Structure 1
Amino acid sequence: MEMLEFTKGKKGFFQSYAVEVDVKDASNATCLYAQWMMSFLIKYETNSSDYKNATLSLSSNVTHDGSICGNDTQAALLAVQFGEGHSWSVNFTKTNETYQADFITFTYNTNDTAVFPDAKRKGPITIVVKDTMHPVQLNNVFVCHNTDSIEAENVTQFFWNLTLQAFVQNGTIGEKESRCDADTPTSAPTVLPTDANITTASTTTLSPAPTTVPKPVENPDTGNYSLKSGNKTCLLATVGLQLNVSQDKPLLININPKTTSADGTCGNTAATLRLNDGNSRFIDFTFVVKNASANVRRFYLKEVNVTLLNHINGSVILSADNNNFSKWDASLGSSYMCRKEQTLEINEGLQIHTFNLRIQPFLVKENKFSTAEDCSPEVDNFIVPIAVGAALGGLVVLVLMAYFFGHKKHRNAGYEQF
């Protein structure tokens, strides 16, 4: 008979609990061991047909029904249940020399009104995704401290501080580690300064450090993003993005389109573009259709959600949301374009600067942007003085014409007197 033990650690990312699971075989020897933290960011449709982001984390009441050791012919399974009807599991298979995770199954229950207070669809929703874990040598422990994420079907799963060994032999956890790629990066990622990752360099000379002028941050590169519904493109976006974070000191972060992936949802009245820059930064843009029942319908940007994680330990550096925008307004079936720099105020500590923007979240045809409605910086700058000048010019012409005709009439009247 298999047994399972677990303990809960300190609260971390999104108030998630660290969970330690120790699956034992019939002889009470460990056969599957895991310790990790995880959390979920879920986009769901509300009763008003809008979309919201919900955060779901492991709570203190975790159970562990269904976990099994596995063997040469049967997959091992690590399964946990938590909260109001939520569950998560991953299965492992092995060869003669390695083991690896195959599929992750995650079920979230929108009947949990504390997490999904106004969900349109009620009940359990299950997604299955392929795990990206590389094969690990048998008897090795797989370790990954950095944050990893998997995105699929409106759900982003976050994992960090992971220690795992499947198919443990003789009940003894291995001493040799196999590290994930993120724990041994070729170049250090850019992270925001926090108390946890600030270090003080030792002094090697008494000479003062030279004063340098900070190099201005250049405008970000423009990225091209798209979403598909089946084989059909349903959303197009071209934009350069720059985050302006005001914490201890202002910090500008350019989003690199070369490392940024796009995901999200398309709908008839709401659509969301979710960007993951590959450095633990996630940005969601939600668009809705207004005047949905009118003949002339328009779309606009309604909500922006930004999450910045510490790339080293997965903790939240910043999470901000503004769901009260009325930006980027254009007719449905058109695209919105603005070449000049624009600023989105998310909150007092975060702004997003956009450059070379063109967006079409609805009714994309033939994988191309439709006719654009431009924010027209040239019109903003020149149309007013041109209009004023034209009006003044017209007034001068009218005055001259009145004077000319009045003077001519007066002369003709004088001739008639002789």
Structure 2
Amino acid sequence: METLRSAAGRLPGALFCALVLFLLEGSVVYQAYAVDVEVKDASNETCLFGKWIMNISITYETEHNEYKNTVLTFPEHVTYDGSSCDNEISGPVLAIEFGEGHSWNISFTKTNDTYQGIISFTYNTNDTALFPDAKMKGPITTSTNYPLHPVDLDTVFICQNGDFIESGSVIQNFRNVILEAFLPSGNLSNQKTVCDKDAVVTPEPPAPDTTSTNTTSITNTTSITNTTSITNYTTVEANATMLSRSISQPEEIPATGTYSVKNDTEICLLATMGLQLNMAKTLMNINPNTTKASGHCGNTSSILTLTDTSIVVDFTFALKNTSIERFYLKAVDVTVTNPVNGTQFAGSDNLTFWEASLGNSYMCRKKTNLIVTPSCSLNVFNLRIQPFQVQNGQFSIAQECLLDDDTYLIPVIVGAGLVGLIMITVVAYALGRRQSQPGYQTL
């Protein structure tokens, strides 16, 4: 991780800005990562503040005319050349460069009443570690607006629930977003603008309590940035976190919920399941009555995001590169926020669960255990999932898991019976032969 001094030293003198960027690591294998960033001008006033959890999924064509998915993440060491506060030409810019020719930046513009960012993301398919068999070689750039709608000036944009933007073959997923550009006097505003999903499912948090003593993270951040803007933000986050449900031992079997994702007006992903999360030896049931489903449907990958108050679970489905088209569960990301342990992350992109033929659904009525990481797993009950080619909002023919398919037990039982019968026959024959052996008899 580069220090504040070394990062700022590379920026142009006329546009000097102080930049703080933290990549927060947890028990995560891939995808989910947290970013905490602050850009300052030469007078040490903050012009851009952002905090979010993000993942980037890329679909690319291989040399064999197939399609694969890869996930690109920020490494520990990045450069910030091009980051700056506003000037006569443009507004605040956060620019991040990393890896072999990859870059991500967001630049902000404003009108008299609103501001909005434009994300420009460049990935380089010459990076053989991420794109080992890419058909098209070289840098590819996509751009899109974020937030999706302009935000009122002097307000903080907040989006705690999952929010994604798609541009070409790139999907960028955001959640737990707190963002503001053009900060008045360098401090976060007390007013907020929420994304569409938060406007429906997120309760209004109480007013920030500046006397709160629950500010360990505030102290750590303030000692680095020497600003008070983080204090306003962290207090809001702490109060919002207290609204989350308390974590307690749930009932043994969770209720089964039905979830769907729509592409425009048509259902493109359908799922029913009961979910129980085991995070760091703490059991938590996913409650269908309070869980919201969101996600994305594509030709080669689909994402189902389940958000239940303090728990977010992302399921990523992909197509297998075989002659027979089949789908499977490729990745799972889990985020848990609670007042006791803070925010915990876990994820894996190397899974091969829930496989079935494309055009069918996958079903498993009995309990299955889906291991994400050594400290995180999901108990799944009454599962039925179809992430591709849903017709008329209904499940297609189900391919059952082996646990449900009792027909395979019949030959096993018959075989075991035959083996037992043969063993009994052999033992009886041996005993009979032993008793019939000739020899001396007692007179």
TM bucket, shorter chain: 0.5 to 0.7
Distance in 1 separating the partners of 2:395 and 2:105: 40
Distance in 1 separating the partners of 2:327 and 2:58: 19
Q: Provide the residue aligned with 1:21 in structure 2.
A: 39
Distance in 1 separating the partners of 2:115 and 2:311: 22
2:173 counterpart of 1:156: yes
Q: Identity across aligned pairs (percent)?
A: 14
Q: Provide the residue aligned with 2:305 in structure 1.
A: 275
Distance in 2 separating the partners of 1:51 and 1:57: 19
Q: Provide the residue aligned with 2:394 in structure 1.
A: 368
2:62 counterpart of 1:82: no
- Please give the TM-score of this superposition, normalised by the length of structure 2: 0.60
Distance in 1 separating the partners of 2:203 and 2:93: 30
Question: Does structure 1 conserve the Cα–Cα contact (< 8 Å) formed by 2:326 and 2:358?
Answer: yes
Q: Give the deviation of 1:321 after TM superposition.
A: 0.8
Q: Provide the residue aligned with 1:236 in structure 2.
A: 269
Question: Does structure 1 conserve the Cα–Cα contact (< 8 Å) formed by 2:70 and 2:130?
Answer: no
Cα deviations across residues 110-130 of structure 1 (Å, max 9, x unaligned)? 347398353735423313135
Question: Does structure 1 conserve the Cα–Cα contact (< 8 Å) formed by 2:155 and 2:190?
Answer: yes
Closer, same or farther: CA 40–285 of 1 in aligned 2, 3 Å? closer
Cα deviations across residues 36-74 of structure 1 (Å, max 9, x unaligned)? 34453111236463323332368542133686457xxx9
Q: Provide the residue aligned with 1:105 in structure 2.
A: 119
Question: Does structure 2 conserve the Cα–Cα contact (< 8 Å) formed by 1:58 and 1:82?
Answer: no
2:286 counterpart of 1:254: yes
Q: Provide the residue aligned with 2:438 in structure 1.
A: none
| SS in structure 2 at match of 1:55 | coil
Distance in 2 separating the partners of 1:131 and 1:92: 12
Closer, same or farther: CA 352–16 of 1 in aligned 2, 3 Å? closer
Cα deviations across residues 1-48 of structure 1 (Å, max 9, x unaligned)? 973412225542577664332357xxx896x71233445311123646
Distance in 2 separating the partners of 1:11 and 1:309: 18
Question: Does structure 1 conserve the Cα–Cα contact (< 8 Å) formed by 2:85 and 2:93?
Answer: yes
- Counterpart of 1:355 in structure 2: which amino acid? F
| SS in structure 1 at match of 2:73 | strand
Distance in 2 separating the partners of 1:241 and 1:4: 53
Q: Give the deviation of 1:167 after TM superposition.
A: 7.1
Question: Does structure 2 conserve the Cα–Cα contact (< 8 Å) formed by 1:266 and 1:361?
Answer: no
Distance in 2 separating the partners of 1:175 and 1:126: 30
| SS in structure 1 at match of 2:18 | strand
Question: Does structure 2 conserve the Cα–Cα contact (< 8 Å) formed by 1:8 and 1:60?
Answer: no
Count of aligned pairs between the two proteins? 342
Q: Provide the residue aligned with 2:29 in structure 1.
A: none
2:144 to 105, 111, 128: 128
1:353 to 352, 355, 379: 379
Cα deviations across residues 113-166 of structure 1 (Å, max 9, x unaligned)? 398353735423313135167854x6x46386x85653122211356565x352
Distance in 2 separating the partners of 1:376 and 1:45: 31
- Please give the TM-score of this superposition, normalised by the length of structure 1: 0.63
Distance in 2 separating the partners of 1:2 and 1:148: 39
Q: Provide the residue aligned with 1:414 in structure 2.
A: none
| SS in structure 2 at match of 1:56 | coil
Q: Provide the residue aligned with 1:299 in structure 2.
A: 326
Closer, same or farther: CA 246–148 of 1 in aligned 2, 3 Å? closer
Distance in 2 separating the partners of 1:313 and 1:127: 39
**Higher helix fraction: Structure 1 or Structure 2?**
2
Distance in 2 separating the partners of 1:18 and 1:114: 29
Distance in 2 separating the partners of 1:237 and 1:20: 40
Q: Provide the residue aligned with 1:177 in structure 2.
A: 190
Closer, same or farther: CA 307–250 of 1 in aligned 2, 3 Å? closer
Q: Provide the residue aligned with 1:336 in structure 2.
A: 362
Distance in 1 separating the partners of 2:398 and 2:157: 49
Q: Give the deviation of 1:222 after TM superposition.
A: 1.3
Cα deviations across residues 385-414 of structure 1 (Å, max 9, x unaligned)? 99859x99xx9xxxxxxxxxxxxxxxxxxx
Cα deviations across residues 247-272 of structure 1 (Å, max 9, x unaligned)? 1x3322316475433323422xx423
Question: Does structure 2 conserve the Cα–Cα contact (< 8 Å) formed by 1:236 and 1:360?
Answer: yes
Q: Provide the residue aligned with 1:224 in structure 2.
A: 259
Closer, same or farther: CA 276–127 of 1 in aligned 2, 3 Å? farther
Q: Which has the larger radius of gyration?
A: 1
Query: Could you say what the CA RMSD is over the residues aligned between the two structures, in angstroms?
Result: 4.7
- Counterpart of 1:118 in structure 2: which amino acid? P
Question: Does structure 1 conserve the Cα–Cα contact (< 8 Å) formed by 2:56 and 2:173?
Answer: yes
2:47 counterpart of 1:33: yes
Q: Provide the residue aligned with 2:236 in structure 1.
A: none
- Counterpart of 1:125 in structure 2: which amino acid? T
Question: Structure 1 stretches of 5 or more lacking a match?
Answer: 189-194, 198-212, 396-418
| SS in structure 1 at match of 2:410 | helix
Distance in 1 separating the partners of 2:311 and 2:133: 27
Closer, same or farther: CA 196–38 of 1 in aligned 2, 3 Å? same
